[in-house]
């Protein structure tokens, strides 16, 4: 069974009572690993699309194009 330490939770929230909004953001960003959100956003919305464009460009650069022609015999054409 999971035990919840209410004293630790109240101590966590009590530390924000005397802080301004900027200080709260600062504490949450650097003390409690909040900066990982920005790393995730950078990787997801900038680095990953750029990487996929790079991979697709490499793949398209080494492909050769082939034109396929289908010849239908004249006897199968409707009159």
Q: What is the pTM of this model?
A: 0.47
The pLDDT tens digits for 31-49 are 878 889 889 999 999 999 9
| CA 66 and chain centroid, separation | 35
The pLDDT tens digits for 52-75 are 999 999 988 888 888 999 887 777
39-64: string of b/e by CB count within 10 Å (b at 16+)?
eeeeeeeeeeeeeeeeeeeeeeeeee
- Mean predicted confidence (pLDDT) in 3-18: 85
Query: Whole-angstrom Cα distance, residue 43 to residue 37?
Result: 10
């Amino acid at each position: 069974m999971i035990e919840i330490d209410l004293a630790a939770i109240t101590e966590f929230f009590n530390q924000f009572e005397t802080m301004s909004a900027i200080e709260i953001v600062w504490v949450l960003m650097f003390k409690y690993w909040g900066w990982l959100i920005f790393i995730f956003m950078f990787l997801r919305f900038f680095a990953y699309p750029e990487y996929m464009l790079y991979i697709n460009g490499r793949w398209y650069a080494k492909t050769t194009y082939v034109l396929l022609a289908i010849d239908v015999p004249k006897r199968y054409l409707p009159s």
